[in-house]
Amino acid sequence: MRQHVNPLSQFFQLPLSLPSKSILFKDPHYPIHLDIGSAKGEFLIELASKYPKWNFLGLEIREPLVISSERKRKRLELKNLKFLYCNVNISLDEWLSDLDHNQLKRVSIQFPDPWFKRKHIKRRVLKKSLLNSIARNMSKDGELFIQSDIYKLIEYMSNVIDESIYFDRKVVMGLKWLKKNPYEVFTDRESFVLRRNFPIYRAMYIRNRTLFIS
């Protein structure tokens, strides 16, 4: 599904106050996995079902997908999962700053909109400011997982993270890209690409012990 919305349009620049974790989750003190660009929500729905002592939050800029994902979540009565509509580059930082110390354990950014044209690269979701916000609030040894079937996009994303002093790339058997999804749970897009036997580029980064410099 590649129904783009322009995150830089005036409409999406309006900040939203996201509900606190105590409102979102039955047990607000469980560790948190944040999925940025949760799309149809299947990835987090399966994880939340498997791991009841984790909380999962999916953020998506396409509101109809959030409504659909929330409908499925409610039908399954998953109290450790929530889907919210927002522009993460505008509204996420304040929410993250209210979390318990070391509560944010995992962040995933999977198959985001590629925005191929050079003039549109600034619309891509992963920016230095967003990465810094994640680094500021993530627990030491926390995981940042990215994947895409578009090489130019994953190269851009990995370059942004590689330039950061707060994350170290996890290398397995000397390979630059991971062969498998470490969570063994697939997004809708990932399943689509796998069925067609197309390549997927994946990388895992670990939050190192460098103190965040504000």
Number of H helices and E strands in the chain, helices first, is 7, 7
Whether 40 maps to a domain, the answer reads: yes
Average pLDDT over residues 170-193: 93
Name the residue with tokens 């997927």. Answer: 200
Q: How far apart are CA 96 and CA 105, in angstroms?
A: 12
Whether 84 maps to a domain, the answer reads: yes
Give the three-state DSSP class for 113.
Answer: coil
Whether residue 113 lies in the annotated active site: yes
Whether 8 maps to a domain, the answer reads: no
Q: How far apart are CA 96 and CA 59, in angstroms?
A: 13
Whether 12 maps to a domain, the answer reads: no
The domain of 118 spans: 25-207
Whether 161 maps to a domain, the answer reads: yes
Whether 70 maps to a domain, the answer reads: yes
Q: How many domains does the chain have?
A: 1
Q: How is residue 214 annotated by DSSP?
A: -
Instruction: Give pLDDT, residue 1.
Output: 44
> Of 113, 141, 149, 168, which is the active-site residue?
113
Are 140 and 208 contacting, i.e. CB atoms less than 8 angstroms apart?
A: yes
User: Does residue 190 carry a pLDDT above 90?
Assistant: yes
Whether 122 maps to a domain, the answer reads: yes
Distances (CA, A) of 211 to 19, 140, 156: 28, 9, 25
Are 2 and 11 contacting, i.e. CB atoms less than 8 angstroms apart?
A: no
Q: What are the tens digits of pLDDT across the range 90-100?
A: 999 999 999 99
Q: What are the tens digits of pLDDT across the range 63-109?
A: 999 999 999 999 999 999 999 999 999 999 999 999 999 999 999 99
Q: What are the tens digits of pLDDT across the range 143-163?
A: 999 999 999 999 999 999 999
Strands in the chain per DSSP E: 32-36, 55-60, 81-85, 104-110, 138-148, 167-170, 201-207
Which CATH number covers residue 127? 3.40.50.150
Global confidence as pTM: 0.92
Instruction: Give pLDDT, residue 49.
Output: 98
Instruction: Give pLDDT, residue 210.
Output: 96
Q: How far apart are CA 90 and CA 103, in angstroms?
A: 21
Instruction: Give pLDDT, residue 5.
Output: 66
